[in-house]
Amino acid sequence: MKKNRWLTQVWFAAFFLLLSTASAWPQQPLIQAVGNGEINWADQVIRATGSGAPNPDAPNIAAARLGAERAAKADALRNILETVKGVRIDSQTLVVNAMTQSDVIRTQVQGVVRGARTVNTRYLSDGAVEVIVEISMAGQLSQTVLPPGSFGTQPVPKAGSPVYSGVVFDSRGLNIRPAMSPKILDEDGREVYGSAFVSQEWATKYGIVGYVKDLDAAKNNDRVAANPYVVKAVKASGAGSSDLVISNADAQGLKDMSKNLSFLEQCRVLVVVD
């Protein structure tokens, strides 16, 4: 009897623990490796690691370690710059393309990289040092690489109270490649959502879309909750396979929400990927 009572208590404890954690909907990482760094599309963060060796001619251990730290930080900044260059802006363009086309963008991106935050420092037994740095894709980087003239060219009606709080595009199985500024198209190639439909302020702050790996988690994500409109994409599009095509019926349904489209301007959009 005591054993059964104990098992019952354990079961209830586990059950309530599951209930308490389920509502948090932990977000799965969505990592793209680029060179010696990585892009976390779920968290919109870019990270890179650098390493530095101690100078054997340093006058003391403290000086050797300081030199190794500086070398590791410099190496990490070089690596994160190369990673940033590999970030896809849209289905046609990488950041490196934008930097090549504009000296202003190149200088500003380099400035963003120089301001990278050190998030971890490891001291190895041989005196070497490893440093991890990161920058956010939102904020200054988005403001630098996303063309300002592309925002808000499509009027978005705001009449009435919204029925839907956001939209979730389910692209699982389509091998979508995340980008900072993807487009959602109908089957005839007409743009249904993209930078032309959003406010630059919201896009710079949150990104034009967010990426997640779980449909149930997406439906409960604060970005689109509490009542998102869910659309199944039919195929990938664009040279970089970053744009999504949805059926004409779903596209028309989205357009017909004339009273509910304010969530588009506020970038309350998620894309579910594999």
Residue 82 within any structural domain of the chain: yes
What average pLDDT does the segment 184-193 reach? Answer: 95
Verify that 125 and 168 share a domain, yes or no. Answer: no
Could you tell me if 166 and 72 lie in one domain?
A: no
Predicted local confidence at residue 156, as pLDDT: 57
Asked if 175 and 83 sit in the same domain, the reply is no
Tell whether the model's pLDDT for residue 161 goes beyond 90: no
Using 50, 70 and 90 to split pLDDT, how confident is the model at 167? very high
What is the pLDDT averaged over residues 40-58? 94
The residue among 130, 145, 160 that closes a domain is: 145
Total of domains in the chain:
2
Q: Which runs of E-coded beta strand occur in the chain?
A: 31-34, 37-40, 45-52, 117-123, 129-136, 166-170, 184-185, 191-193, 210-212, 228-232, 235-237, 243-245, 269-272
| Band of residue 254 on the pLDDT scale cut at 50, 70, 90 | confident
**pLDDT, position 2:** 46
Give dist(CA 108, CA 234) in Å, integer: 37
12 domain-assigned: no
CA distances 6 to 1, 9, 16, 185, 218, Å, are: 9, 5, 16, 57, 37
Residue-wise DSSP of 164-197: --EEEEE-TTS-----SS--EE-TTS-EEESGGG
230 with 130, same domain? Answer: no
* Residue 262 pLDDT greater than 60, yes or no: yes
For residue 241, pLDDT over 80 is answered with yes
Based on the domain organization, do 40 and 120 belong to the same domain?
A: yes
Quick check: 119 pLDDT over 50? Answer: yes
* pLDDT for the residue 8: 43
Q: Give the pLDDT of residue 29.
A: 65
Contact yes or no for 128/53 (Cβ under 8 A): yes
State residue 57's pLDDT score.
86
Mean pLDDT over all residues of the chain?
A: 86
* Domain enclosing residue 172, as ranges: 148-272
CA distance 24 to 29: 15
Indicate the pLDDT class of residue 265, thresholds 50, 70 and 90.
confident
Q: Is 243 helix (H, G, I), strand (E, B) or coil?
A: strand
Indicate if 153 and 246 belong to the same structural domain: yes
**Is 50 exceeded by the pLDDT of residue 18?**
no
Residue 26: inside a domain: no
- On whether the CB atoms of residues 80 and 133 are closer than 8 A, the answer is yes
What whole-number percentage of the chain has pLDDT above 70? 84
- End-to-end distance of the chain based on CA atoms, in angstroms? 48
Strand pairing report for 31-34 and 37-40: antiparallel
Quick check: is 16 in a domain? no
Do 140 and 248 lie in one domain? The reply is: no
Same domain for 116 and 189, yes or no, is: no
Average pLDDT value for residue range 169-177:
96
Bridge partner residues of 244 (DSSP): 184, 236
What is the DSSP code (8-state) at residue 241?
T
Residues 164 and 137 in one domain: no
13 pLDDT higher than 60: no
Residue 154: the pLDDT is: 66
- Average pLDDT (132-138) is 96
Residue 130 sits in the same domain as residue 166: no
Distances (CA, A) of 84 to 44, 48, 80, 122: 12, 10, 6, 23
Mean pLDDT on 235-250: 95
Which pLDDT does position 75 carry in this prediction? 97
User: Is the same domain home to 266 and 166?
Assistant: yes
Both tokens of 30, joined, read 């969505």
How many angstroms separate the Cα of 58 from the Cα of each of 62, 64, 75, 128?
A: 9, 5, 19, 13
Within this chain, do residues 133 and 160 fall inside the same structural domain, yes or no? no
**Residue 156 is assigned to a structural domain of this protein:** yes
User: Cα–Cα distances in Å, from 148 out to 105, 138, 141?
Assistant: 12, 14, 13
Decide which of 118, 145, 172 is a domain's last residue. Answer: 145
Give the residue carrying structure tokens 């879309």. Answer: 209
Token pair of 247, please?
Answer: 């059926």
25, part of any domain = no
Task: State the average pLDDT over residues 95-121.
Answer: 96
In angstroms, the Cα distances linking 236 to 170, 176, 180, 189, 215 are 11, 6, 16, 12, 18
Q: Do the domain assignments include residue 268?
A: yes
Boundary (domain end) residue, out of 103, 128, 145? 145
Find the mean pLDDT for residues 180-204.
93
On whether residue 23 sits in a domain, the answer given is no
Share of residues in the chain with pLDDT > 90 (%): 66
